[in-house]
């Protein structure tokens, strides 16, 4: 769909038809509302496992997988709640109007009931892992719930809240496998997540143009120029933070090697590739989708993970 068509849809498109849905369609709609394609964001919980040097410990791997699944479920809860809260605005959006709740396939009452059941089950599983992990899981749901209700309407705090949500997931992953939470994990995670959040805001603002504020009123507080300035600051900060991390005496002492600096080209290329997609290909609306669909970006992330694992665990005696 061309950008002009999208704008016309926002400006004067009809709301999606409401109608009776079959049981199969409702079930399919519920699954789609959990947005499994977005669950790749929860891979950040494995950071503690890898950088905590527990990747070869079977028990730690099992706990990390459990943490990942719990946060996938909790992410689904957040998406259900958010789609219910945003259903009227989504009906005016060229793409989001197709979401099951906005289109009427799944009723708000059913979505909230499923969210409640899923949150109880997920938090119960989190408590079984550990009290600390449960506290962080509860903090994540609470924070993102507040985001859906109020924080997404507060300029700058809207993007910061999303970034903090990533930090909470990363910290929870470390707690799940009982490794210390490095301050570098906080710094690099929040900066990278803030970069993605601001890029997404820019994508929405440029894509929807004059209809942007009608869909998400917080966009009236931003401009492409302001967002570009913010993205520039965060981009530089992210790269500098990662470079400092790889060459810090603390890091070299922990891993017994200074070779982690060899991985610097991967975040450099990855961030520049992402900026290229945002500015030249009008991407950025869904970081998870871009990671899956853009082969160069996917290859960059995969190679970075492989390089980090090889350097930290030295399977070939490096």
When pLDDT is averaged across residues 133-145 and rounded to a whole number, the result is 95
What is residue 90's predicted lDDT score, i.e. its pLDDT?
78
The kind and range of the H/E element at 244 are helix 224-247
pTM (predicted TM-score):
0.85
CB 87 within 8 A of CB 100: no
SS3 for 15? coil
Q: What is the mean pLDDT of residues 227-251?
A: 94
Largest CA-CA distance found in the chain, in angstroms, rounded: 63
Tell me the mean pLDDT in the region 42-48. 94
The per-residue pLDDT for 198 is 93
Residue 200 to residue 222: CA distance in whole angstroms: 12
pLDDT at 16: 44
What is the overall mean pLDDT for the chain?
A: 87
d(CA 278, CA 235): 13
Residues of the chain with pLDDT > 90, as a percent, come to 60
Is a pLDDT exceeding 80 seen at residue 192?
yes
pLDDT at 37: 86
Q: Is the pLDDT of residue 117 over 90?
A: yes
Q: Is the pLDDT assigned to residue 213 strictly greater than 60? A: no
Tell me how far apart the alpha carbons of residues 16 and 98 are, in angstroms, rounded to a whole number: 7
Q: Give the model confidence (pLDDT) of 64-94 as tens digits.
A: 999 999 999 999 999 999 899 888 877 877 7
What is the predicted pLDDT for the residue at 18?
43
The structure tokens listed for 75 are: 């992410």
Q: If you classify domain 35-181 with CATH, what class do you get? A: mainly alpha
Residue-wise DSSP of 96-150: GGGSHHHHTSS-HHHHHHHHHHHHHHHHHHHHHH-HHHHHHHHHHHHHHHHHHHT
pLDDT at 92: 75
Non-local (6+) Cβ contacts of 51 within 8 A are: 182, 185, 308, 312
The yes-or-no verdict on residue 316 having pLDDT over 70 is no
């Amino acid at each position: 769909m061309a950008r002009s068509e999208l704008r016309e849809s926002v400006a004067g498109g009809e709301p999606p038809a409401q109608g009776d849905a079959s049981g199969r369609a409702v079930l399919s709609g519920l699954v789609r509302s959990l947005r499994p394609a977005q669950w790749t964001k929860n891979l950040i919980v494995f950071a503690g496992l890898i950088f905590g040097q527990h990747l070869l410990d079977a028990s730690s791997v099992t706990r990390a997988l459990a943490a990942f699944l719990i946060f996938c479920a909790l992410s689904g809860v957040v998406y259900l709640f958010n789609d219910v809260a945003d259903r009227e605005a989504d009906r005016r959006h060229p793409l989001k109007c197709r979401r099951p709740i906005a289109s009427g396939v799944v009723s708000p009452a059913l979505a909230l009931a499923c969210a409640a059941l899923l949150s109880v089950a997920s938090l119960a599983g989190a408590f079984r892992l550990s009290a600390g992990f449960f506290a962080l899981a509860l903090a994540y749901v609470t924070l993102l719930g507040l985001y859906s209700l109020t924080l997404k309407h507060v300029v700058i705090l809207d993007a910061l809240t999303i970034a903090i949500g990533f930090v909470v997931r990363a910290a929870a992953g470390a707690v799940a496998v009982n490794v210390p939470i490095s301050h570098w994990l906080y710094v690099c995670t929040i900066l990278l997540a803030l970069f993605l959040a601001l890029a997404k805001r820019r994508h929405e603002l440029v894509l929807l143009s004059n209809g942007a504020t009608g869909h998400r009123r917080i966009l009236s507080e931003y401009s492409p120029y302001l967002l570009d300035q913010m993205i520039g600051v965060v981009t530089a900060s992210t790269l500098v933070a990662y470079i400092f991390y790889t060459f810090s005496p603390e890091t070299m002492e922990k891993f017994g090697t200074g070779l982690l600096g060899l991985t610097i080209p991967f975040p450099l290329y990855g961030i520049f590739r992402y900026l290229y997609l945002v500015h030249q290909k009008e991407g950025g609306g869904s970081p998870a989708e871009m990671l899956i669909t853009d082969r160069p970006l996917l290859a960059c992330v995969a190679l970075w993970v492989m390089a980090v694992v090889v350097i930290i665990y030295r399977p070939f005696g490096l």
